[in-house]
Structure 1
Amino acid sequence: MRMTRRALGAAALVLPGLAGAQAFPDRPLRLIVPFPPGGPVDMAARLLAPAMGTLLGQQMVVENRSGAGGTVGIDAVAKAAPDGLTLALGSTGAVAVNVNLVPNLPYDPRRDLAPVGLVTGVPSLLVLRPGLEVRNLEDLLAVARRQPGRLTFASTGPGGTPHLAAELLKLRAGIDIVHVAYRGAAPAITALMANEVDIAFLDLPVLLPHVREGKFRALGLAAAARAPVLPEVPTMAEAGLPGVEVENWYALIAPARLPPDRMSVLSAALRGALAQPELAERFLSQGARVIGGGPEEAAQFIAAEMERWGEVVRRANIRID
C-alpha cells in the first residue's frame, strides 16, 4: 500500500519508526469479523480497517467468518500465530459473554486473547415489526403481560448483545417473550421486516436508516441518555422501564502471547485511527461513540463485562444446548 504524504506524516507522529522501512507489519493484515456482512460489527470493521492500514503502511483486509454467535471467528484468532497479522473485531457477546454461556468453548478469552484496545460502543435500540399495533413501551409490556409467550424477539444468535438485551428486558419487566435466533443482524432485520418476529433489540447503527425511513418504530434506547442521531427516541428509563442499559462494544483483539513491541505498534495505530476527526465523525454519525484506550484498559473493561453479563446469564437461566 502506498502511503500519501499526509498519512506518512500521521504515521511518523503516531507510530515512531514506522513511517520509513519497518519490520512489522511486512505484509497485509487480516481483520476477522465474526459475523456476516452487513451487520454492525462488519460496518465498524470496514470503517476502521482502511484508517489503521494507512497508518501501518499495509492493507488491512476484512474477512467475515461467522458462526456460533461469533465463536467461530474469535476462535480463528485465538488459534492464529501470535504475529499481529491476524486480528478480530470482537463484540460483547463473542468476547465477554460466551465464556459464561457456551459449554466447551474452544477458547478461553482470558488466556487465549489479547485485547489491543476498545474501538466503539453502540447502544441497543428496541424496535417493532411493521405490523405490530402498539404505540409505546407501556403498550408493548401490557400485551406481553396479558399474553405470556405470545410475543417473539429476534437476536443475532444466542449470547449476543441483542439476545441479552431482551433477556434483561424480561428480567426488569417480569414478562415472557420468546427468543428466535438468526445468524447476524442482517437476517434478523429481514425477519423483522417480514413480520416473522415481533420486536428486536439491535445495535443503533444498523437500525438507524430503517428507523429514519419509517420502516420500524423505535420504542426505547437502552442508554443513559438519548442519541444525538435519534433525539426523538426516549431512553428505556424515560419510556417507563429503568435498569435496561445495554451497550454493544467492539474491541480489536489479537492472539495471546503477541510480542510487546508488536502490541505497541497495533495499539498506537488503533489510537491514531480513532483520533482522526473524519473516522470519529463517521462513527458518531451512525450513533456509535468512540472509546479508545490501550490494552490494559481494554482488559480491565472486558473482565468487568464478563462478570456483569455472567450474572444476567445465570439469572435468566440462558443455556445453549
Structure 2
Amino acid sequence: MNKLFGTLGLALAVAATSAASASSAASPADAQDYPSHAIRLIVPYSPGGPSDTQARMIGQKLSERLGQPVIVENHAGGAGNIGAGLVARAKPDGYTLLFCSTGPIMVNPHLFSKMPFDPLKDLAPVALVSLAPSVLAVNPKVPASNIGELIALIRANPEKFSYASGGEGTTQHLSGELLKDMGGLKMRHIPYKGEAPATVDALGDHVPIIFTSVGTGLPNFKLGRLRPLAVTSARRNPALPDVPALAESGFPGYEVTAWQAVFAPAGTPSNIVDRLNVAVRSVVESPDISGKLMAEGNVPAGDSVQAVSAFLRKEAPHWATLVKQAGVAPVN
C-alpha cells in the first residue's frame, strides 16, 4: 500500500507524458474536424447526485460551444469504478469523456485491492470544473453553537458522539477521520448509503453530527433543521460566508476539498484535449454557470491542461494519506 502511495505522483506524470507522446502524431485536421458527431459524457454515479447535476448543466452548454450533442450517460457501480473504467478503456478519440468527482481517481486505488483500471495512467485530465468542501453540521438539539463548543463536548464525553457520512471512503468520511486524528477525538463513524439517508437520520437526531456536502446541506441550514459549524476547505465557502473553516478554528492545515473534473482516455490527441479544455473552461467561467455552481456551494474552477495535471499530482499524496489515516479496509 505504501509503495502505491509513493508512486501516485509518478503515475500521473507518466500518464501525461504518454498522452502527449501518443498525441504528437495527430494531424492539425484532427482538432479542426473535431467534433463531427455526438460526444458521450459518462457519469459513474446514479442520476440526481452532484456529479450528475453538474455534468448535465455543463454538457448542455458544451453542446452549444462544440456544435454537437453532448449526451450524459449514467453508469453507476463499484464506487464509480464501472463508469470510469468504461472511459479508461474507450477509444481515445475525444468522443467518450468522463465527468467525475475525487473518488474514482484519488480514493478508489486505496479502497480496492483490485482496480479494473489505473485511473492515473489510463485517464488524461481535460479540465477541472469545481471545488466543493464538506460541512460539519449538528442537529439543533446538540448544545454547541460553534466548533469550539462541539470539540469540548466530544472531549468531555469520549465515544458518546458519532457522525454520519454518505459511506465508507467518501469525502465526508475522510473529513471526519482527519478531524479525529488532528484533534485526538474519540467519535464513532456511521456510514450510510448516500448523503440522503445520512441527512434523514441527522434531522431525526438519530446521529448528532454529520459531514455533508454544501449543496446537500444548504436547504436544511436555511430552515434551521441542521446547524453548520465549519467547512472542510482551507477557506470559507462563498455560499456559507459566516461559517468558519476548520483550518481557522483550531485545526491549522486541515483541508479536505472534493472536486469535479472532466477526463478523456489516455492517448487522446493533445489538440483535441486542448480544444475540450478551452470549451469546458468557457462554460464554467460563463456568468450563468458559475453563478449556479456557487449557489450550490461549489467554487468554479478551470485552468490549462498542464495546470490541472499539476493540481492532480499535488492532490494524489494528500488523498493517499487521508485514506491511510481513516484505516478503511480495502475492498476485494
Give TM class, smaller chain: 0.7 to 0.9
Name 1:232's counterpart in structure 2: 242
> Structure 2 counterpart of 1:202, which letter?
T
Percent identity over paired residues? 38
> Paired residue for 2:292, among 274, 282, 295?
282
Whether 2:62 is the aligned partner of 1:52: answer yes
Q: Secondary structure at the match of 2:262?
A: strand
1:6-46 deviation line (CA, Å, top 9, x unaligned): xxxxxxxxxx999xxx7432333222222333332223223
Cα separation, 2, equivalents of 1:56 and 1:17: 16
> Structure 1 counterpart of 2:178, which letter?
L
Query: 2:234, 2:253 within 8 Å by CA — same for their partners in 1?
Result: no
Structure with the largest fraction of helix:
2
Name 1:168's counterpart in structure 2: 178
Cα separation, 2, equivalents of 1:69 and 1:284: 26
> Paired residue for 1:264, among 274, 280, 286?
274
> Paired residue for 2:209, among 191, 199, 223?
199
Name 1:291's counterpart in structure 2: 301
Query: 1:94, 1:160 within 8 Å by CA — same for their partners in 2?
Result: no
TM-score under structure 1 normalisation? 0.85
> Structure 1 counterpart of 2:129, which letter?
V
Name 2:10's counterpart in structure 1: none
Cα separation, 2, equivalents of 1:268 and 1:112: 22
Name 1:10's counterpart in structure 2: none
Name 1:122's counterpart in structure 2: 132
Change (3 A) 1:35 1:156: farther
The answer for unaligned runs of 5 or more in structure 2 is 1-27
Q: Secondary structure at the match of 1:249?
A: strand
- 1:291 deviates by 1.5
Query: 1:157, 1:182 within 8 Å by CA — same for their partners in 2?
Result: yes
> Structure 2 counterpart of 1:45, which letter?
A
Query: 1:45, 1:89 within 8 Å by CA — same for their partners in 2?
Result: yes
Q: Which runs of 4+ in 1 moved over 6 A?
A: none
Change (3 A) 1:56 1:101: same
Q: Secondary structure at the match of 1:55?
A: helix
- 1:232 deviates by 2.0
> Structure 2 counterpart of 1:25, which letter?
P
- 1:170 deviates by 0.9
1:137-177 deviation line (CA, Å, top 9, x unaligned): 23332343344443332323332211111111111111122
In the TM superposition, 1:169-184 aligns within 5 A as 169-184=179-194
- 1:295 deviates by 2.1
> Paired residue for 1:69, among 70, 79, 87?
79
Cα separation, 1, equivalents of 2:207 and 2:37: 45
Name 2:14's counterpart in structure 1: none
Q: Secondary structure at the match of 1:75?
A: helix
> Paired residue for 1:103, among 104, 113, 116?
113
Name 1:35's counterpart in structure 2: 45
Query: 1:35, 1:184 within 8 Å by CA — same for their partners in 2?
Result: no
Query: 2:92, 2:264 within 8 Å by CA — same for their partners in 1?
Result: yes
> Paired residue for 2:257, among 220, 239, 247?
247
- 1:264 deviates by 2.5
Q: Give the aligned CA root-mean-square deviation in angstroms.
A: 2.6
Whether 2:235 is the aligned partner of 1:186: answer no
Q: Secondary structure at the match of 2:62?
A: helix
Whether 2:228 is the aligned partner of 1:218: answer yes
TM-score under structure 2 normalisation? 0.82
Cα separation, 2, equivalents of 1:58 and 1:265: 14
Cα separation, 2, equivalents of 1:122 and 1:228: 11
